[in-house]
Amino acid sequence: MLELKHLPVSSFNENIAYIHRDCPVYKIDNIKTMTRIEIHGGSEPVYAFLQIVDSSKILRPDELGLNTEAFKQIGLPEGSKVSLTLTPPAPSLTSVRRKIAGNILSTEEYSAIIADISARRYSNMDIASFLVAAGSFITPGELLSLAEALRGDRIIDWGSEEIVADHYCLGDVPGNKADLILTAIVAAYGLPIPKTVSPSLNGSTSAADTMAMLAGIDLDVRSLKKQVQEKRGAIVNLEKLEIAPADKIITMVEQQNGLATLERSIASVLATKMAAGVTHLLIDIPVGPRTRVRSTQEAMRLRKLIEYVGDMMDINVDVVITDGSEPIGFGIGAALEARDVMKVLKNKEDAPEDLKEKSLFLAGRILEFDPKLRGGQGYVVARELLKSGKALDAMEQIIKAQGKAKEQMQLGHLTRDIVADTDGVVKKIDNAFISRLAVLCGSGQYPGAGVDLFRKTGDKVTAGDILYRIYSCNQNDFAFASTVLENGRSGFDIGK
Amino acid sequence: MLELKHLPVSSFNENIAYIHRDCPVYKIDNIKTMTRIEIHGGSEPVYAFLQIVDSSKILRPDELGLNTEAFKQIGLPEGSKVSLTLTPPAPSLTSVRRKIAGNILSTEEYSAIIADISARRYSNMDIASFLVAAGSFITPGELLSLAEALRGDRIIDWGSEEIVADHYCLGDVPGNKADLILTAIVAAYGLPIPKTVSPSLNGSTSAADTMAMLAGIDLDVRSLKKQVQEKRGAIVNLEKLEIAPADKIITMVEQQNGLATLERSIASVLATKMAAGVTHLLIDIPVGPRTRVRSTQEAMRLRKLIEYVGDMMDINVDVVITDGSEPIGFGIGAALEARDVMKVLKNKEDAPEDLKEKSLFLAGRILEFDPKLRGGQGYVVARELLKSGKALDAMEQIIKAQGKAKEQMQLGHLTRDIVADTDGVVKKIDNAFISRLAVLCGSGQYPGAGVDLFRKTGDKVTAGDILYRIYSCNQNDFAFASTVLENGRSGFDIGK
C-alpha cells in the first residue's frame, strides 16, 4: 500500500500517477516505457499513466502522487492508503487497430472505445490514433454508432417540454455571433433554448467567449434547468455541464492537434446537444472559400449525413446552408462582438445589418419548429420580437439570471487604423486574413483584442478612409499583428 | 526571465515544462489547453509542453521547471536565467495533416517531420497521428524518404573497412536468439559485425535482454569502434548509441501504442543500421501463422520493398524468408535463451539443433557478403568456425570486452511442469500460446522467468513426460501463468 498525495500539476487531459524511483512496492527498474496502472482504494479504480520521480522532496518512496486530474477522480483525501496494479492497454484499442487497418467497426466497438475514453484509459496518443484512423474513413452507420456512444446515458431531462431547441454553426465565420441574438429571440417567443457553447481553444473567439463579456456562463445542470424554466433561455458553458464526458476529452485532443474532421464534429454536436436534452436542432453550415466547408456540394453531403444520423437518433434537425464568404458583423474579438450583439438587440441605428439579418433568419427557422406557428411566419415573428425590444428584454433577463459579467468590456489600449489607399468600392474582404489578424492581435487570449471593421463589402470608400482598426492588449501581440500589416496587405479588395 | 529548476520527473518521451499558476511572466488564465513553448537560454531553443503547478513547494512562481528529458536537453545548470515564448505547432504538422487526407508526401516533407520529431517539437499525440496516417498508406518512394530522414546525418565511420555486416529479424519467433551465435561466427571469420540490438518494450525477450545475461551492452560509439576493430564483433544496445535520434522517439511511441507497421519497421531497421555504418545487411523474415508476417506472399512483397529501398539508399541487403511456425531453441526468456546460446557455441550434445542450424544458415549468408568467399561456401565455413570452437572464442572475447554480466543467470524459483496426457508424437507447438505464456510468467520484466521446452515438434512422448517447465520470479506472475494452464491447454498438439 502507498500513501496518496496530490501533486498539484494540471496536465490538461491525462491522468498521471507519480511514483518514486525507490518505491518499495513497484520495481522501477522494470519500467522502460509509458506504463498504464490502475489505482485501487477509491469507489472505483482510477486509470493513470506512470511517471517516475527522482527526488524525495517532491514525493517520498512510500507515496503515490496523482496529478490534479487523477486526484479529482479518485475522490480520496491525501494520506489515504491506495494500491496499484499494472493494467493492460484498454481492450478496445484492438478495435482502434482494426479501424487503422481499414475495417468498419460495430456499434459495440464504438461503445467500448468511448467507455474506455471516459474512464481515462486512453492516453492522448491513443485518442489521437483513434481520431486519425476514424477520420480517414468512417461510414454513416459508424458515425451514428460514434454519436450514440458519445451522447452517453446521462441526458438532461426537460420534463413536460415538447420542444427544446438549440442551434449549432459548423465552421467559424469571423465575427458571427448570431448565436446570442437568436437565443434571445427564441426565449422571448417562449420556446425553451438551453444554448450550450464551448470556449474556443484555437485562438479564434467563440460564442462562449463573447457571452462571457456579458454574463457568467458556468452553470451546473440544476441552475440551467431552473433558469430555462423561468426565463426560457440560457447561454452556458458546455464544459461545466456533466454530460457527454468522452466528447470533452476527445475535443481537447482535437484542439491540441488540429485533427477535427467534419464528420467527428457532426458526431460531437449531435451527441452533446442530445445529452443536453435538445429535441429540435438547427445546424448552420456556412460555405465560403475559407470556411471549414468550401463548396455547396460538400455542404449538401454533410446535410444528408446529419439528417441521416439525426433521424436515426431521433432528434429533429433542420440544416441550413448559408453564405460564409465574409465576416459577419463589424467586430472580431469577444468584446467587439459583444458590443455588436447588444447593438442589434437594442435596435441601434449603427448595428451591423448582416448580423441582424442572419440572426433573424436562423431564429425564424427555430421558431418554425413550433407546430403552432404557420409555415413561413418564423422570420416575421422573429423580426417583431427583435423590433419590439422583447428579445433585448429576454437577453437582459438571461444576463441577470446568469450573473452580470464582473469585468467591464474594455478594448485593448494598443490600436492601429488601416486606411484605404484608393477611392472605390469594397469588392471583397478576405475572411482568412481578417481572422488570422484578429488571432495575432490576441483575440483568442485577450477578450479586448481584435479587429473592428469600419467598412464592409459594397461600401464606398475614399482614399484615407479607415477600413478597420486593430486592438491589442500587449506589445508582443501588437508587434506581431503590425508585421503582417506592414507589407501593404489589408485583406480588403477595393475596386471601381 | 525565469529561474531554471530541474523537476526530476521522467516522462518517457516528451519534454515537459512546468510553470507556477502565479507565474508573473506568463498569464496562466489564458492557458486552456496543451501549450507548446520554446525555452531560450541554452545554446539552442528547447521545445516543451507546458503543465501548470499549483504549489510553491514544488515550484516557485519565478521558476521554470523542466522534467528530466528537457533538463538534459537544455544543458544548463539549475538557477540559470531562461525565458520562454509560446511557439506554434511544428510547421511540418501541416504535412501530417496532408498525409491524413491521403496525400503522398515529398522527401522534403519527410525530412521536415523527422527533424521536428528529433527536436522534440512533436507531442506523443502528434507522433501517433503521423504513425497512423503513414501506417495506413505509404508508397515505396515515401518509405525511402522516411528511411533516409530517419537515418540522419550522423553515421558511424568504419574507416577503411569495406564490409561492415549486420543482421535483423523482422518479427519475433519465440526463443530465437540466432543473433548472438551468428555474430560470434561472423566475428570469428573476421568480418566486422557491430550488432545493434534493442531492449524489448513489449514483454517478449529481445536479443538485447539475452545478451545482457552474458555481458554489458551499453557501449558508446567510441568503445564500440575500438572493440570491433580489435575483436571484429560486438552486440550492443542501440538506445545508447547517439544515432538516429528520431527513430528512438518514434519507436517508443509505437511500443506504447502497438502501432508498428511492417513498413515502418523496414524504414526503421534500414535507417538505424545505416546510421551504425553497416554496409551489408541480412534481413530474416520468418513466416508463420502467428508471426508478424503470415504468408510467403506477404514476405515476398516485403522482400521487394526492402530491396528497393536498400538499393536506393546504397546498402547491400540480402533478404531471406524462413520458417517461423514454431519456437526455436528450448528456452523462451532471457536466462534460458542465454543458456541455449552458450550450449550451441560450446557444441554441447544437448544444444538445440534448430537454433544451431538457423544460426549457421544465417551466418553463412553473411559470410558470403565477402567477395573472397566462393559462392555456396558460407554455411560450410560457418559450421567449421562453430565446430572448431573459434566462434565460442570470439563470443568469449566479445563478452570480456563488453564486461561480463554482473548478475549470475538465475532462473525463477517458482516452477511448474506441464506433462503429456497421452502417448504419441508432437505434431505442432503453438507459437503464440507459448509466447504469451512466457510473457505471463514475467519474461519481459524478469530475465529469470520464462518457458523451457523439453520436447519439440517430431519428438515422441509418453503420457507423463514433461513437455515444458515454466519459471516465474514472483507469485503474481506465477498465478497468472498457472491460470492459463489450468484449463487444460498446453499449446502442444500430440498425435499418432
Which of these, A470, A434, A214, A439, lies nearest to A338 by C-alpha position? A214
CA atoms lying within 13 Å on the CB side of residue B139? 11
Cβ contacts of B34 on chain A, cutoff 8 Å = 12-13, 252, 256
Cβ contacts of B51 on chain A, cutoff 8 Å = 9-12
Partner-chain contact B132 A127, CB within 8 Å: no
Partner-chain contact B129 A11, CB within 8 Å: no
Beta carbons of B471 and B411 less than 8 angstroms apart: yes
Cβ contacts of B52 on chain A, cutoff 8 Å = 9-10
Provide the pLDDT for residue B103: 93
Cβ contacts of B27 on chain A, cutoff 8 Å = 445
Please tell me the distance in Å from A144's CA to the nearest CA on chain B: 22
The domains located in chain B, with CATH, are: 2-86 (2.40.40.20), 93-137 (no CATH), 165-240+264-402 (3.40.1030.10), 414-495 (3.90.1170.30)
- Please state, in angstroms and as integers, the Cα–Cα distance from residue B177 to each residue in B167, B208, B341, following that order: 12, 10, 7
Partner-chain contact A124 B124, CB within 8 Å: yes
Beta carbons of B240 and B111 less than 8 angstroms apart: no
Grid coordinates belonging to B421: 496426457
Cβ contacts of A259 on chain B, cutoff 8 Å = 97, 100, 129
Cβ contacts of B9 on chain A, cutoff 8 Å = 18, 51-54, 58
DSSP string, B30-45: G--S--EEEEESSSS-
Provide the pLDDT for residue B489: 87
Residue of B nearest to A67 (CA): B53
Please tell me the distance in Å from A228's CA to the nearest CA on chain B: 28
**pLDDT at A30 exceeding the cut of 60:** no
* Residue found by looking up cell 528450448 in the block: B330
Q: For B157-176, what is each residue's pLDDT tens digit?
A: 999 999 999 999 998 788 89
Task: Tell me A214's DSSP state.
Answer: T
Provide the pLDDT for residue B203: 66
Residues B446, B411: Cα–Cα separation, whole Å: 9
Q: For A469-490, what is each residue's pLDDT tens digit?
A: 999 998 888 988 888 888 778 9
Residues B161, B157: Cα–Cα separation, whole Å: 9
Which of these, B229, B193, B246, B209, lies nearest to B369 by C-alpha position? B193
Beta carbons of A261 and A221 less than 8 angstroms apart: no
Provide the pLDDT for residue A87: 83
The residue of B53, B72, B249, B256 whose CB has the most chain A CBs within 10 angstroms, and thus the best one to mutate to test that interface, is B256
Please tell me the distance in Å from B9's CA to the nearest CA on chain A: 4
Please tell me the distance in Å from A450's CA to the nearest CA on chain B: 16
**pLDDT at B28 exceeding the cut of 80:** no
Please tell me the distance in Å from B401's CA to the nearest CA on chain A: 25
- The rounded mean pLDDT for chain B is 92
The residue of B34, B262, B477 whose CB has the most chain A CBs within 10 angstroms, and thus the best one to mutate to test that interface, is B34
The residue of A5, A6, A10, A441 whose CB has the most chain B CBs within 10 angstroms, and thus the best one to mutate to test that interface, is A10
Q: How many helices (H) and strands (E) does chain A have?
A: 17, 19
Confidence bin at A85 (pLDDT 50/70/90)? confident
| Mean pLDDT in residue range A51-65 | 93
* Residue found by looking up cell 501533486 in the block: A7
Residues A359, A386: Cα–Cα separation, whole Å: 10
Which of these, B490, B485, B456, B488, lies nearest to B472 by C-alpha position? B485
Please tell me the distance in Å from A495's CA to the nearest CA on chain B: 34
Partner-chain contact A201 B32, CB within 8 Å: yes
Residues B460, B495: Cα–Cα separation, whole Å: 10
Residues B97, B124: Cα–Cα separation, whole Å: 15
Residue ranges of the alpha helices (H) in A157-244?
A: 178-189, 207-211, 221-231
The residue of B10, B18, B125 whose CB has the most chain A CBs within 10 angstroms, and thus the best one to mutate to test that interface, is B125
pTM for the full predicted model: 0.86
Cβ contacts of B442 on chain A, cutoff 8 Å = none
**Total beta-carbon pairs less than 8 A apart between chain A and chain B:** 132
Residues B430, B438: Cα–Cα separation, whole Å: 12
Partner-chain contact A100 B136, CB within 8 Å: yes
Residues A235, A198: Cα–Cα separation, whole Å: 10
Residue of A nearest to B28 (CA): A445
Beta carbons of A453 and A493 less than 8 angstroms apart: no
Partner-chain contact A54 B129, CB within 8 Å: no
Provide the pLDDT for residue A31: 61
Please tell me the distance in Å from A160's CA to the nearest CA on chain B: 37
CB-nearest to B32 from A124, A136, A199 is A199
CB-nearest to B201 from A13, A32, A129 is A32
Q: For B123-132, what is each residue's pLDDT tens digit?
A: 988 999 999 9
Mapping DSSP to helix (H, G, I), strand (E, B) and coil, where does residue B283 land? strand
Sign of the alpha-carbon torsion through A198, A203, A206, A211: positive
CB-nearest to A97 from B199, B258, B445 is B258
Please tell me the distance in Å from A86's CA to the nearest CA on chain B: 11
Cβ contacts of B97 on chain A, cutoff 8 Å = 258-259
Q: For B406-435, what is each residue's pLDDT tens digit?
A: 877 889 999 999 999 999 999 999 988 999
Please tell me the distance in Å from B293's CA to the nearest CA on chain A: 15
Cβ contacts of B7 on chain A, cutoff 8 Å = 55, 58
Partner-chain contact B125 A93, CB within 8 Å: no
| ipTM greater than cut 0.90 | no
A160 phi, psi to nearest 5 deg: -85, 5
Partner-chain contact B12 A33, CB within 8 Å: yes
Provide the pLDDT for residue B7: 95
User: Is residue B312 classed exposed, middle or buried when 0-12, 13-18 and 19+ CB atoms within 10 A define those classes?
Assistant: middle
Q: Please tell me the total number of residues recorded for chain A in this structure.
A: 496
Pick from A243-247, B254-258, B445-449: least confident? B254-258
Pick from A112-126, A312-326, A478-492, B312-326: least confident? A478-492
Cβ contacts of A34 on chain B, cutoff 8 Å = 12-13, 252, 256
How are beta strands B331-332 and B450-453 bridged, if at all?
antiparallel
Pick from A237-241, A345-349, B398-402: least confident? A237-241
Partner-chain contact A34 B12, CB within 8 Å: yes
Grid coordinates belonging to B165: 555486416
Task: Give the CA-trace dihedral at A300, A301, A305, A311, to 10 degrees.
Answer: 30
Provide the pLDDT for residue B30: 56
Partner-chain contact B133 A132, CB within 8 Å: yes
| Mean pLDDT in residue range B455-476 | 94
Cα–chain center distance at B15: 23
Partner-chain contact A125 B18, CB within 8 Å: no
Confidence bin at B201 (pLDDT 50/70/90)? low
Query: To which H or E segment does residue A363 belong?
Result: helix A353-367
Residues A157, A163: Cα–Cα separation, whole Å: 12
Mapping DSSP to helix (H, G, I), strand (E, B) and coil, where does residue B84 land? strand
- Please state, in angstroms and as integers, the Cα–Cα distance from residue B46 to each residue in A256, B21, B58, B73, following that order: 19, 21, 22, 7
The residue of A129, A209, A252 whose CB has the most chain B CBs within 10 angstroms, and thus the best one to mutate to test that interface, is A129
Partner-chain contact B9 A54, CB within 8 Å: yes
Grid coordinates belonging to A380: 416575421
**pLDDT at B292 exceeding the cut of 70:** yes
Provide the pLDDT for residue A258: 76
